[in-house]
Amino acid sequence: MGLADRVLAVNNDLPIRTELPVHSGKVRSVYWLSDADSKRLITEKGYDVSENTSLAIMVISDRISAFDCIWHGEGGMNGVPGKGAALNAISNHWFRLFREQGLADSHILDIPHPLVWIVQKARPVMIEAICRQYITGSMWRAYAGGEREFCGIKLPDGLQKDQKLPELLITPSTKGVLRGIPGVPEVDDVNVTRKNLENNYAAFNFRAKSDIDLYEKLLKQGFGLISAELAKLDQVFVDTKFEFGYVTDAAGEDKLIYMDEVGTPDSSRIWDGPRYRDGEVVEQSKEAFRQLLLNHFDDPDILLNKQRMDERSALAANNALPEAVLMQVSQTYCGIAEKITGVKIELSESPKQEIIDILRDEYGLIDE
């Protein structure tokens, strides 16, 4: 069996029993279970959710996206070996620590397989909760171009690229296109201020204005916990994205939880500590793959210029990356996952069949 066979590239064609279309994102596919199967599993497995909660099977793939495109490799390698398992393992680790240390629960109820979560339906807060401890990336580019205010927060003059910021900055942006909010453009992923949130909390799906304080508290606590744990490994937690939502527990209580993924190389920047102290930034995250792509192609402007999206899509579709590039990315993802969790990432021999067998034998969710 070749390496390409151990990569899960297509994850929306599993024979999981569902009455709704499979929802596929860039990396994960979501299979919503029927009311009957949701109720059955809540009872059988004793999940701490209300009996009417909708459950889903969330299957992560090994696909890799960057610059809004999905990339593939030579020899039929349509993903990065171990990437999906590494992302899930890291998220599982942080979500568990958040719960154990009394921060908040997550949307994950069960982990049947390294590539699979059973999740509860949440009512998402419509912001990407981004926080930054260092000035780099798009924020540095804007700062170097003269901008000093970010999401209503003013930064001082004289900051240097990649330096630590005076305080943790919370710079939220919209999740999807939100309409009819004064001062907020009707486009996806646009920065918003805390005042925007306070004045229109219901439009962002907050249950109460006071929950803005709670989300910021959970954001800072979550960032602080991950940052402290990574510091023990001599890794620098640079910036990250959190997502939040509301769920109802078995006692009928509504609560704000963490959802999506946390502290992963896809949602965060992580730098190697010793190299950073020597004045060199070495990315332990997807940023390293972006840099590989920028160096790989003769005209990097295609990847950076949103006006050239058609060319970029063609570039991704028509260029199989060398296997060595994808293996380098695999080493980044698996390496940081193993550092964080202390457990080796094992590649499945036949990931799709393993998932089907487990969901059939232990959860009764596969129609033969």
* Residues 109 and 132 placed together within one structural domain of the fold: no
Residues 218, 256: contact at Cβ < 8 Å?
A: yes
How far apart CA 89 and CA 86 sit, in angstroms, is: 5
Q: What does the pLDDT read at residue 1?
A: 59
CATH code of the domain containing 172:
3.30.470
Helix (DSSP H) and strand (DSSP E) numbers for the chain:
11, 16
Which has the closest alpha carbon to 82: 264, 325, 329? 329
Tell me the residue range of the domain where 84 lies: 3-122+346-361
* Residues 255 and 141 placed together within one structural domain of the fold: yes
Joined together, the tokens standing for residue 351 give: 């990931």
* Residues 73 and 187 placed together within one structural domain of the fold: no
How far apart CA 222 and CA 217 sit, in angstroms, is: 8
Report pLDDT digits (tens) over 218-248: 999 999 999 999 999 999 999 999 999 999 9
Query: Within a domain: residue 37?
Result: yes
Q: What does the pLDDT read at residue 240?
A: 96
Angle at 27 between CA 69 and CA 113, to 5 degrees: 160
How far apart CA 328 and CA 213 sit, in angstroms, is: 41
Q: What does the pLDDT read at residue 5?
A: 87
Residue 137 has pLDDT above 90, yes or no: no
Report pLDDT digits (tens) over 348-365: 889 999 999 999 999 999
The answer, as to whether pTM is greater than 0.85, is yes
Q: What does the pLDDT read at residue 8?
A: 95
Which has the closest alpha carbon to 75: 321, 331, 346, 333? 321
Tell me the residue type at 333: Y
* Residues 130 and 106 placed together within one structural domain of the fold: no
* Residues 161 and 106 placed together within one structural domain of the fold: no
Q: What does the pLDDT read at residue 189?
A: 86
Residue 277 has pLDDT above 90, yes or no: yes
* Residues 193 and 155 placed together within one structural domain of the fold: yes
How far apart CA 30 and CA 41 sit, in angstroms, is: 17
Joined together, the tokens standing for residue 24 give: 């596929």
* Residues 13 and 37 placed together within one structural domain of the fold: yes
Listing DSSP states for 269-324 in one string gives EEEEHHHHHTT---B-SHHHHHHHHHHHSS-THHHH-GGGHHHHHHHHHH-PBPHH
Of 234, 265, 296, the residue at which a domain comes to its end is 265
Q: What does the pLDDT read at residue 3?
A: 84
Q: What does the pLDDT read at residue 4?
A: 85
Residue 368 has pLDDT above 80, yes or no: no
Query: Within a domain: residue 62?
Result: yes
Q: What does the pLDDT read at residue 34?
A: 96
Average pLDDT over the chain reads 94
Which has the closest alpha carbon to 242: 213, 210, 225, 220? 220
Listing DSSP states for 165-202 in one string gives EEEEEE--EESS---S-TT--SSTT-B--HHHHHHTTT
Q: What does the pLDDT read at residue 138?
A: 85
Q: What does the pLDDT read at residue 183?
A: 87
Higher pLDDT pick, 211 / 2: 211
Listing DSSP states for 71-106 in one string gives E-BGGG--S-TTHHHHHHHHHHHHHHHHHHTTS--B
* Residues 142 and 251 placed together within one structural domain of the fold: yes
Kindly list the distances between the CA atom of residue 89 and the CA atoms of 4, 275, 336, in Å, as whole numbers in the listed order.
21, 25, 10
Query: Within a domain: residue 97?
Result: yes
* Residues 134 and 252 placed together within one structural domain of the fold: yes
Joined together, the tokens standing for residue 133 give: 């401890």
Query: How many domains does the structure of the chain reveal?
Result: 2
CATH code of the domain containing 63:
3.30.200.20
Q: What does the pLDDT read at residue 159?
A: 95
The total of other beta-carbon atoms located within 10 Å of residue 330's CB is: 24
Query: Within a domain: residue 294?
Result: no
Backbone angles phi, psi at 134, to 5 degrees: -135, 155
Section 305-325 average pLDDT = 94
